[in-house]
Structure formats: structure tokens, C-alpha cells
Amino acid sequence: MNDGPSAPVFEVRGVSRRFGATQALDEVDFDLRRGEIHALVGENGAGKTTLAKITAGTLRPDAGELRLFGDIYSPRRRADGSAAGVAHVRQQLSLVRGLSVAQNIELGRPRPQAGRRPWPRRFKSASARAEVERLAEELDLNVPAEELVEDLPLAVRQQAEILISLAWGARILVLDEPSSALGPLETEVLVRLCLRLRDEGTPIIYISHRLGELAELADRLTVLRQGRVVVAGADVADADMHQLAELMIGDISLLEVQRPRTRAGEVRLDAVGLKLSVEHGAGLKDISLQVRGGEIAGVVGVAGNGQEELAGVLSGQVRPDSGTVLIDGSDVTGSTARAVANGAALLPEDRSAGLATSFSLAENVIARRVGDPVFASWGVRRMRPVRRHARSLSERFEVNPPEPDLPARSLSGGNQQKLMAARELEIDPAVLVASGPTKGLDPHASRAMRDRCWETARRGGAVVLISADLDEIAELAHRVLVLSGGRIIDRFPTEEMTSARLGAAMAGLRIEEGDDVSPQGVDS
């Protein structure tokens, strides 16, 4: 084995893994060298996460071989991976939420096999806390040791998990879509942390489908498509991102799409003086906004600054402490029933909140219309029209497969999102509240969702697009509202969106003057 500076520390040779009928990985080769960040990119379902799990020891491959620092590496469970120095930070993070960071550092911690300690091992809270604090200081992170994980913002949980990996003696780090739920500032912190870890000797496998962020981060890049390697370890410095995007998708380039702006008409959504205090999160502190028919208002901000609360209140799911929400002049404050009756549609960020995943496609699709005489007579469901309707609607919204009787949970994330859109947007809504509609989706599915939002506006709906994806905002929104600490602290036409202005607003450096509640920058 070559021990030079670019010798592989981790190697994958001919690894395959099948789930039922799906070949998730098909004879994949991959290698990670000393001192590099190696990006693993691909669409949803390309096999990135499967490879990460196999690397970590959570899954076993059907065939193929792994080598770690030259030795055969065949972990049988997650603990074997940790003990060998492989850390895997999952997309849905894996710190136990009901425990503190200091408690999580001891939980599952690998121990040297020799000299087994007596059972039960004592948990020494003081030394665990000291260890977290020492590492946090070393890494220049603000990770509180004693707070419960569930009370920490997502970005901090992620930092805590990386910190714990290092405490456990990680020799290689696998980060699965680490930036997908982060705002721009948080992503910057993450990128700095990754570069620093790399320079200090921990190579990183960085999984992403945001090609844009890889340029400043990754050294090499491997592209997976449908379980196969299509680009193997190319140098990022020489790579043509547009070409890579094409390889990843297999067809059209998706970068820098220009959208014609839709025409704005009458005010359809009118929210005044919304206030809400919540236990966790920023709540809402006197938010007013108006959105016209045909207009898309983009709401941005660092995650956890009131986005969730705003989506809940605007869609009638949450009753604000004070303030009103009007749709076409009707008061729908705090009532989903009235909101729906007045044509409100909601695409929530959490798909499991928007779908009954154990119910079938057909049942989900007609959920807003269960009492409709077309679908029920005398309280008995008429299955044939329901199925027919579900199939045609699924086809129209490109839900794949469009099988009415499949349970919704058997669909991929992107298709679940499309199914939700099919139900919500079947009848042109007056108001659409879309919260992170493309979060975690591959470019294809994202495209379809953006089309839906745009189409809704074109047909005269007022759209509130809450998104952490600034490209999405730039592409779709007429104007931008910046949320910080539960307030709208800046608003401007999309054309004026610059990273300097956004960054300042998101960091809370700007306070909105006066009580200006009128929408600005509406093109008409």
C-alpha cells in the first residue's frame, strides 16, 4: 500500500447493494485521500446515502470490499464504524434529543476492546461537560454542553454532532447533505469548519446536490447516477459545473433559469399585526404583509426565525395571539376550515405533516374533498371515481408511480411533495403558502415544484414562498422579506437582493424603521 501524501485512507471497491427491486448501488468504486474533501453528488435516489450508511457500518453491502487505511474494513454495525474511526453525520441528525450534548458524547462512545470496564460504567457528567467545552473552544464553535439537544437550533445540533465525532476519535468524516437545512450564514460556518478539519488532518466525504457550494469547499468530486459512478474523483478546480450538473441529471441544464415575472393584481392575502409567542423558536413579533394575486413574496431568513410560525398562522393552522389574516377580504384567522373554504393551500415543509403517509395516494388526493358527492354517496366512498380522479391528477402532477392504491409512504420524497401539490393545487388556490417546497429534493423534483408555485401565481394566486434556498427566491419571487427574530426586518424587490444586504439583514444587523406595512416593489 502506497503511503504517500495522496494515498487513499478509505477505499470502496465494487460495492453493490439492492433494496427489493431497486439496485441502489451497482459496483461502485470510490476513494478518499489524506487531506481532502471529496464531494459525493447526485440526485435523490442516486445512492449517496446508501454509500454513506455502508461506510458507517449501518448497512452491509451485498458485494464488494471496503478498505480503511489499507486494511479490510467490514463493519457489522454502527458501533464498529465508530470504533474504527468512521463518523457519519446523517441528514436527519442522530443526537438523542431528550439528552444534553454532554450526555450524547458518552452515549454509544466506542471503547477500546482491551481491559473491559465493569458494568455499569459511571457517567461522569463533569468530565463530559469539560470535554464538550474544551472541544467547542478549540473548534471555535458555540455549542452549549448542558442544554437539551431538542432546545438547540439545527445548525448547533449539527456542530455538536461533528464535535462529538471528533471527541470519539474520528479519522474520517462522512457528512450527508449537511447544508440542506442551513441558511447562508450557517453554511458559511460549516464550510469554514470543514476546511479547517481537512487542514488539520481529517478527510471528509461531503454529500450534496448543491453543486454551487462545492466549488469553494471540495477538492475532488464523484458523481453518482442511479447507483453508478458517472464521474470518478474529478478535480473540482478543473471541473465545469454546468457539465457536471448535466451529467448528474442526465438532461437539460438547470442552472440560472430566468422566470418571466407574473402580473400582480388585487391584494388577496392581507395579514395585519400578527403576534405569536411560542415555546421554542422566535415566534412572530408584529408581522404585517400583503400579497397580491399573481405575486410571489419570498420569505428568507436563518432557520428558526419565525418561518414555521408564519406558515402556520398564514394557513390558519395556528391562531396568533393577536392580528388577523384575510383572504380576499374574509377573516380566516386561526381556522384551517375557513382558510381552505376561502381557497388557501399549504405546502408544509415537513411532508409527514402534509400527507397521511400510511394512506393511499387516492385517499390523500381527495382529502380536501371527502364529502364531495362525486366521491361519496350516502357517506359511502365511491372507489371507482376516487381512483380515476387520483390517477388523472397524479398524472397531471407527474406523481410517479401514479398508482391510486399505493400507500403514500412508498413514494420518494419528491413524489410525495408532488402528491401534496396535486391535492393542494388541484383547484387554483387564492393563496398558496409554500414552506421549503423543494427542501431535500433533487433538481428534477425541485424544478417541478417551482413550476407549480409559478403556475399558481400566473393563474392569479397570491404565493408566499418561504425558503432557505436563495436561488429559488431569486428565480421566483417578486420581492423579498427577511425574517429575523420573528420580525420582518427588511423588504426589497428581488432585483435589489445582494449578498451584502441579505447577510446584514439575516444577521439581524438591520431593524425595520417605523411601522411600514405596505408591500414594496410589486411589479405590475
Partner 1 sequence: MSKLGEITFWTATISGGLRLATPLVLASLGETISQRAGVLNIGLEGFMITGALTSLYVAVETSLVVGLLAGALAGAGLALLMTALCVRLNANQVVVGFGITILGIGLTGYIFRLTTPLGGERRQIDIAEEIRIPGLSDIPFVGEAFLSNSAITWLAIGIVPVVWWLAQRTVFGLEVRSVGEDPDAAYARGVNVLRVRSVATLISGFLGGLGGAAITTAMVGVFEPAITAGRGFIALIVIIMVRWSAWGVAVGSFIFGFSEALGTNLRNIVSDEVPTEALAAIPFLVALIILVVGARRARMPKSLGFNYIPDR
What is the distance between the terminal CA atoms of the chain, rounded to a whole angstrom?
Answer: 67
Q: Closest approach of Cβ 12 to partner 1, in Å?
A: 19
Distance from C-alpha of 183 to C-alpha of 261, rounded to nearest angstrom? 25
* Residue 280 sits in the site that holds partner 1 (CB under 8 A): no
Examine residue 169 and tell whether it contacts partner 1 (CB under 8 A): no
Rounded to whole angstroms, the Cα distance separating 154 from 190 reads: 12
Q: Which is nearer to partner 1, 148 or 234 (CB)?
A: 148
Q: What is the smallest separation between the CB atom of 101 and partner 1, expressed in angstroms?
A: 12
Long-range own/partner contacts, residues 141-144 (CB < 8 A, 24 or more apart): 141/189, 141/193, 143/101, 144/101
Q: Which cell numbers in the block locate residue 63?
A: 458485494
Map the footprint of partner 1 across residues 218-247, applying CB under 8 A.
Answer: none
Query: Which residue number, 81 or 437, has a Cβ lying nearer to partner 1?
Result: 81
Q: Are 524 and 293 in contact (CB under 8 A)?
A: no
Residue 346 beta carbon to partner 1: minimum distance, rounded to whole angstroms: 26
Whichever of 59 and 365 has its CB closer to partner 1, that residue is: 59
Q: How far is the CB of 176 from partner 1 (least distance, A)?
A: 11
Q: In sequence order, what DSSP letters do the residues of 416-431 get, joined into one string?
A: HHHHHHHHHHSSPPSE
Q: Among residues 121 and 459, whose Cβ is nearest to partner 1?
A: 121
**Alpha carbons 293 and 290: distance in angstroms, whole number:** 10
- Please name every residue paired with 331 in a beta bridge, in sequence order, or none if there are none: 326
Q: Is 504 exposed, middle or buried (0-12, 13-18, 19+ CB in 10 A)?
A: middle
Q: Measured from the CB atom, is 164 or 245 closer to partner 1? A: 164
Spell out the residues 6+ positions from residue 80 whose beta carbon is closer than 8 angstroms to its own. Answer: 57
Distance in Å, CB of 420 to partner 1, minimum: 24
Q: Does 412 bind partner 1 (CB under 8 A)?
A: no
Nearer to partner 1 (CB atom), residue 5 or residue 120 = 120
Decide: is 357 part of the binding site for partner 1 (CB under 8 A). Answer: no
Asked whether the beta carbons of 487 and 305 are under 8 A apart, the reply is no
The backbone torsions φ and ψ at residue 316, rounded to the nearest 5 degrees and listed phi first, read 85, 0
Query: For residue 389, how far is the Cα from the chain centroid?
Result: 31
Task: Please state the closest distance from residue 94 (CB atom) to partner 1, in A.
Answer: 3
Which residues lie below 8 Å from residue 329, measured CB to CB, with a gap of 6+?
Answer: 270
Q: What's the min distance (Å) between Cβ of 80 and partner 1?
A: 8
Given the complex with partner 1, which of 110 and 334 has the nearer CB atom?
110
Return the number of the residue (62 or 188) whose C-beta is nearest partner 1: 62
Binding mask 87-116 for partner 1 (x = CB under 8 A): -x-x--xxxxxxx---xx-xxxxx------
> CA-CA distance, 112 to 83, in Å (whole number)?
8
**Residues within window 115-134 making contact with partner 1, judged by CB under 8 A:** 119-123
Q: Residue 156 CB, nearest distance to partner 1 (Å)?
A: 16
Q: Name the minimum Å distance from CB 169 to partner 1.
A: 13
Least Cα distance to 476 among 500, 508, 446 occurs for 446
- Torsion angle in degrees (nearest 10) through CA of 291, 297, 302, 308: 50
Measured from the CB of residue 109, what is the shortest distance to partner 1 in angstroms?
A: 8
Give the Cβ contact number of residue 453 at 10 Å.
27
Q: Give whichever of 82 and 438 is closer to partner 1, judged by the CB atom.
A: 82
Between 123 and 524, whose beta carbon lies closer to partner 1? 123
- Nearest approach in angstroms of CB 249 to partner 1 is 28
CA distance 58 to 61: 10
388 binds partner 1 (CB under 8 A): no
Min dist CB 416 to partner 1, Å, is 19
Site string for partner 1, 306-345 (x = CB under 8 A): ----------------------------------------
The nearer residue to partner 1, 56 or 269, going by C-beta atoms, is 56
Site for partner 1 in 38-97 (CB under 8 A): 58-60, 77-79, 81-82, 88, 90, 93-97
Assigned C-alpha cell, 393 = 391528477
Which residue number, 98 or 379, has a Cβ lying nearer to partner 1?
98
Size of the chain in residues: 524
Count of C-beta atoms within a 10 Å radius of residue 501: 15
Q: Which of residues 476-505 bind partner 1 (CB under 8 A)?
A: none
Question: What's the closest the beta carbon of residue 110 comes to partner 1, in angstroms?
Answer: 7
Half-sphere exposure of 47 (CA within 13 A, CB side): 28
Tell me whether residue 84 or residue 311 sits nearer to partner 1 (CB atom).
Answer: 84
- Edge-to-edge strand order for the sheet containing 204-208? 86-89, 172-176, 204-208, 37-41, 220-225, 228-235
What is the size of the binding site for partner 1 (CB under 8 A)? Answer: 29
What one-letter code names the amino acid at 58?
T
Say how many CA atoms lie within 13 Å of 170 toward its Cβ.
26
List interacting residues with partner 1 (CB under 8 A): 58-60, 77-79, 81-82, 88, 90, 93-99, 103-104, 106-110, 119-123
